[in-house]
Amino acid sequence: MIDLHTHSTASDGTLSPTELVKLAAETGLKAIALTDHDTLGGVAEAVAAGKEYGVEVIPGCELSLESPAGVGWMHMVALFLPPEPEELQKAFDWVIEGRKTRNHEIVEKLRQQGINITYEAVAARAGGTIGRPHFAQELLALRVVSSVDEAFKVWLGDNGRAYIPKRKLQPKQALDILNNIGATSILAHPFALGLDMPKTEKLVSDLMDMGLERHGGILLRAQRIHDQGLQGNDRTPRAARQRRLGLPRLGQAENISGQRQGQPARSLRTARKDEGRPQIKRIAGLAPHKDRNDKSPEGKFLEGFFYFNRY
Closest by Cα among 41, 32, 38 to 5 = 32
- With a CB cutoff of 8 Å and minimum separation 6, the contacts of 80 are 58, 59, 60, 182, 183, 184, 278
Closest by Cα among 89, 81, 77 to 57 = 81
Q: State percent of the chain over pLDDT 90.
A: 50
Q: How many CB atoms lie within 10 A of CB 1?
A: 17
Instruction: Give the separation between CA 215 and CA 283, rounded to whole angstroms.
Output: 16
Mean pLDDT of 160-177: 94
Mean pLDDT of 111-116: 97
pLDDT tens figures, 16-75: 999 999 999 999 999 999 999 999 999 999 999 999 999 999 999 999 999 887 788 899
Instruction: Give the separation between CA 176 and CA 232, rounded to whole angstroms.
Output: 33
Determine the Cα angle at 39 with ends 163 and 224, to 5°. 65
Q: Where are the domains of the chain?
A: 2-84+182-307
pLDDT tens figures, 130-165: 889 999 999 999 999 999 999 999 999 989 999 999
Instruction: Give the separation between CA 199 and CA 241, rounded to whole angstroms.
Output: 12
Topology, domain 2-84+182-307: TIM Barrel (3.20.20)
Q: 251 by DSSP, 3-state: which?
A: coil
Task: Tell me, yes or no, if the pTM score tops 0.85.
Answer: no
Structure confidence at residue 114 (pLDDT): 97
| Helix-helix angle 197-207:238-245, to 10 degrees | 20
Quickly list DSSP for 67-117: PPTT---EEEEEESPPSS-HHHHHHHHHHHHHHHHHHHHHHHHHHHTT---
Ramachandran category for residue 299: left, alpha or beta (phi over 0 → left; psi -120 to 50 → alpha): alpha
Structure confidence at residue 282 (pLDDT): 30
Instruction: Give the separation between CA 38 and CA 60, rounded to whole angstroms.
Output: 10
Ramachandran category for residue 273: left, alpha or beta (phi over 0 → left; psi -120 to 50 → alpha): beta
Instruction: Determine the residue type at 92.
Output: F
pLDDT tens figures, 185-209: 988 888 788 888 888 888 888 998 8
